[in-house]
């Protein structure tokens, strides 16, 4: 007889697969508490919370952290504005070459990061633009826009043109229509897109390597730190910070878009 329940073998395989994916993350957390700071020895000889204090007092952590936060914030901000505008144009009017442009917008996320990084680097050098925080932001904005765009364009499609016309019909000017009808319906999608973009930017390494010049963002600082056998658990403490800074927004984004699809689907 056919059963809807998974067989024992399949269950073991699924649990095994999940453990394989997620155990290393737990190990990273574990080594933030180890007493041994030269090599990652298993099991840890002892547990301590001293590394959090050490990390807090290490001067070289703060500039990369600030830089990463700043870059992610500005790149996300740019992406939210540009991504929303592009998605509005794409969703509401048909014009020649629309599909092609849509593909071009999505390309930065489909292309390998090395390609984006290389092309940006050569473009900057051709145009004589010195590497700075702004070149990093530009690099990040290319893929952040895609995230915001994808979120917003999906929501735009679900919003029938009808409610925007209904708003104008009832006497609202375009600003009022934007404020009272478009934004509330688009808001969660934009917020979710922004959160994901922030998370992506915050831990981006490849494009950053090509566009950063002498500065280090937090992930790049971690990479450099790992090759030095000195206070290794500090890196793990920073890893926890990175984990929280990226995972929490992604989780929020997930719940935001899930709620959005529920309310949109309920009208059908």
What is the phi/psi pair of residue 168, to 5°? -65, -40
Tokens of 110: 């489909």
Q: Kindly state whether residue 160 participates in binding other proteins, applying the rule CB under 8 A.
A: yes
| Least distance from other proteins to the Cβ atom of residue 259, Å | 12
Q: Kindly state whether residue 23 participates in binding other proteins, applying the rule CB under 8 A.
A: no
Neighbours of 257 (CB within 10 A): 20
Tell me how far apart the alpha carbons of residues 195 and 188 are, in angstroms, rounded to a whole number. 10
Q: Kindly state whether residue 129 participates in binding other proteins, applying the rule CB under 8 A.
A: no
Tell me how far apart the alpha carbons of residues 12 and 6 are, in angstroms, rounded to a whole number. 10
Choices 47-55, 61-69, 167-175, 233-241 (CB under 8 A): range interacting with other proteins: 167-175
Choices 87-95, 102-110, 168-176, 250-258 (CB under 8 A): range interacting with other proteins: 168-176
Tell me how far apart the alpha carbons of residues 50 and 54 are, in angstroms, rounded to a whole number. 6
Short-list 73, 44, 117, 69, CA closest to 238: 69
Q: Which is nearer to other proteins, 20 or 175 (CB)?
A: 175
Neighbours of 241 (CB within 10 A): 17
Q: Kindly state whether residue 41 participates in binding other proteins, applying the rule CB under 8 A.
A: no
Q: Kindly state whether residue 229 participates in binding other proteins, applying the rule CB under 8 A.
A: no
Q: Which is nearer to other proteins, 11 or 179 (CB)?
A: 179
Helix (H/G/I), strand (E/B), else coil: 139: helix
Q: Kindly state whether residue 93 participates in binding other proteins, applying the rule CB under 8 A.
A: no
Q: Kindly state whether residue 167 participates in binding other proteins, applying the rule CB under 8 A.
A: yes
Helix (H/G/I), strand (E/B), else coil: 34: strand
Q: Which listed residue (168, 226, 244, 251) binds other proteins by CB under 8 A?
A: 168
User: Under the rule (CB under 8 A), what is the footprint of other proteins?
Assistant: 160, 162-163, 165-173, 176, 180-181, 184-185, 263-264, 266-267
């Amino acid at each position: 007889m056919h059963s809807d329940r998974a067989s024992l073998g399949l269950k073991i395989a699924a649990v095994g697969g999940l453990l394989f994916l997620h155990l290393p993350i737990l190990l990273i957390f574990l080594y933030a508490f180890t007493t041994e700071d030269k090599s990652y020895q298993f099991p840890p000889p002892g547990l301590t919370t001293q590394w959090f204090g050490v990390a807090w007092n290490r001067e070289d952590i703060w500039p990369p952290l600030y830089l990463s936060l700043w870059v992610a914030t500005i790149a996300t901000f740019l992406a939210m504005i540009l991504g929303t505008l592009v998605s509005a144009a794409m969703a509401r009017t048909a014009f020649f070459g629309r599909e092609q442009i849509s593909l071009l917008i999505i390309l930065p996320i489909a292309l390998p990061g090395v390609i984006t990084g290389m092309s940006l680097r050569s473009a900057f050098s051709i145009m004589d633009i010195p590497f700075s925080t702004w070149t990093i932001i530009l690099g990040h904005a290319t893929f952040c826009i895609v995230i915001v765009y994808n979120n917003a364009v999906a929501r735009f499609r679900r919003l029938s043109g009808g409610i925007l016309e209904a708003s104008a019909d009832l006497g609202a000017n375009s600003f009022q229509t934007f404020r009272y009808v478009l934004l509330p319906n688009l808001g969660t999608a934009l917020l979710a897109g922004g959160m994901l973009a922030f998370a992506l930017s915050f831990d981006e390494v490849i494009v950053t390597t090509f566009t950063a010049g002498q500065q280090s963002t937090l992930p790049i600082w971690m990479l450099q730190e790992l090759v030095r056998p000195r206070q290794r658990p500090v890196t793990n403490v920073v890893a926890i910070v990175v984990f929280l800074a990226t995972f929490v927004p992604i989780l929020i984004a997930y719940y935001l878009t899930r709620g959005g699809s529920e309310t949109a689907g309920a009208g059908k």
